[in-house]
């Protein structure tokens, strides 16, 4: 009888360990937001690990903002326009290439406008080996010009 109980306990423990536990919900699973926390964590990462940090955010929806540098017709990802934005963080310096289809963006946006966007983070390119500057390609889902006080 004692052997049967011991065998039952061992089998139960084995079965429980074989069944994967439900994963803890990840707050960033649905979207990763380019906000102060994102920049802080990217800057805090050791330089050699920054690419790994960014790899975990690829193909997620990112929200961010930047100053308009240019709007041109160098489209990619089946989008006609590219909006070039300079990120607001000082380090690491991020340039956003936001790809969009709307004809309005070409006429609506002016250099130095503050533009807020949300879209899929497709690829990043380090600008140099120091990993203190990147180019992010974003396929835009939605975007808007931010109206600033006093402008």
Task: Output 20 or 30, whichever has higher pLDDT.
Answer: 30
Per-residue pLDDT tens digits for 28-71 = 445 555 556 777 788 888 988 999 999 998 998 888 889 999 99
Cα separations in angstroms, 82 against 28, 39, 50, 117, 137: 27, 23, 25, 13, 10
> Which CATH number do you get for residue 78?
2.40.50.140
Q: Specify if 22 maps to a domain.
A: no
How many Å apart are CA 57 and CA 21, to the nearest integer?
Answer: 24
Q: What are the residue ranges of helices labelled H in the chain?
A: 2-18, 36-44, 50-55, 104-108
Cα separations in angstroms, 149 against 1, 79, 108, 146: 81, 32, 18, 10
Q: Specify if 105 maps to a domain.
A: yes
Q: What is the pLDDT of residue 148?
A: 66
Q: Specify if 3 maps to a domain.
A: no
Task: Give the range of the structural domain holding residue 37, as residue numbers without chain letter.
Answer: 31-145
Q: What is the pLDDT of residue 21?
A: 37
Q: Specify if 117 maps to a domain.
A: yes
Per-residue pLDDT tens digits for 75-107 = 898 999 999 999 887 778 999 999 998 888 888
- Rg (Cα) of the chain, in Å, rounded? 23
Residue 100 class from Cβ within 10 Å (0-12 exposed, 13-18 middle, 19+ buried)? Answer: buried
Number of structural domains the chain divides into: 1
């Amino acid at each position: 009888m004692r052997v049967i109980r011991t065998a039952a306990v061992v089998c139960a423990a084995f079965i429980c360990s074989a069944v994967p536990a439900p994963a803890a919900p990840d707050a960033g699973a649905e979207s990763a937001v380019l906000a102060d926390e994102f920049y802080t964590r990217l800057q805090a990462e050791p330089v050699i690990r920054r690419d790994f940090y960014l790899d975990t955010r690829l193909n997620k929806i990112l929200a961010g903002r930047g100053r308009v540098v240019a709007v041109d017709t160098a489209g990619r990802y089946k989008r006609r326009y590219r909006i070039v934005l300079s990120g607001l963080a000082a380090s690491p310096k991020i340039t956003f290439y936001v790809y969009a289809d709307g004809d309005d963006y070409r006429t609506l946006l002016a250099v130095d406008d503050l533009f807020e966007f949300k879209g899929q983070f497709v690829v990043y390119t380090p600008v140099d080996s120091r990993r203190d500057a990147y180019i992010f390609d974003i396929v835009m889902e939605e975007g808007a010009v931010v109206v600033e006080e006093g402008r």
